Structure 1
Amino acid sequence: MTAAHPDPATRPRPSVPTPPPGIRADRPDVSDGPDLWRIARETRTLDVNSPYSYLLWCRDFAATSAVARDPDGRPAGFVTGYLRPDAPATLLIWQVGVDAAARGKGVAGYLLDHLTARVAAEHALDVLETTISPGNTASERLFASYAERHGARVTRKVLFAEEHFPGGAGHHDAEVLHRIGTPGEPLTT
């Protein structure tokens, strides 16, 4: 049985969490693309896509992505995501990156909360998905903490094994799918 979702126009607006000092979140725009690419590259943990892909992401998926801005308006972090075409109540988080100067201040968690609240205000949202490579404890903690804040359950399974990637086993770690949500309940209220 599928849970009924209220019409987005009549659904209560989710509360947006308090940002870390000096940080504000909004939708990215094309001018943010180069900074998102730079932040992703400088994390040394993310798979870095081409600069062109970050420009497209900021244009085509701005409604399901967020950028954290420092007091001068420069990007200090980002979350990119999209609603899955075959499961439109599922928000897949593609990447989360935080500039070195803003790390350890709660920016990533704030961005996840901000983004899911914004998306849930416009769409039915039951599940948050992301993939995490084994051993990426920072990302595992980030998403486990998100689930705890939202009273949601986390399930995990390998989505893409090493042999799915070009070059086969040993060229890319497996990607473990983390699904966050409680069946039959909206992810945010």
Structure 2
Amino acid sequence: MRTNFTAAQLENPAIRTANGILRACVHCGFCTATCPTYVLLGDELDSPRGRIYLIKDMLENDRPADARTVLHVDRCLSCLSCMTTCPSGVHYMHLVDHARAWIEETFRRPWFERLVRALFELLLPHPARFRWALRLGRIARPFGRLLPEPAGAQRGGGPRPPRPRGLVRPGYGPRATGARTRRGGGHAG
């Protein structure tokens, strides 16, 4: 990928590292097939390639993160499945880590999001506190039905992944379709 960092920007070691990572990307799109957020949501900006474009734009223009960039970078699970399929060896993990640090420096999150993140920081690193919070949640669960359902909320835990197509379809075999038997190349079962 072609980058347009200034000489002054490249004096910063973090930007210099990001530049090297960005230049390794050749836009092949192999990463999109293995990215769970792209597979689920189908939005190019939720793929590693799309996030690379957003991060490149943010860093090259030396501008604070905007809500759109934050949304798509936050959706990255950091599972690194994209790195296993990348033929160019793009160190996506380091680029996303740098972008997240830049976001924390330049973007003010909404107050509720800051509250939730503070609670996570308070609970997740401490197993005893986390167990205590889980117990409270189990006790409070029956009372949750008394609250009105938020607008736009979905029952069942959110969007469903797309149905498999092609060779990975459920029930694949001689009885799945009559195509093999019509051609005479298989048995009827």
TM-score by length of 2: 0.29
Give 1 or 2: higher helix fraction. 2
Q: TM-score, normalising length from structure 1?
A: 0.29
More strand by share: 1
Looking at both structures, which has the greater relative contact order when contacts are Cα pairs under 8 Å and sequence separation is at least 6? 1
Which has more radius of gyration? 2
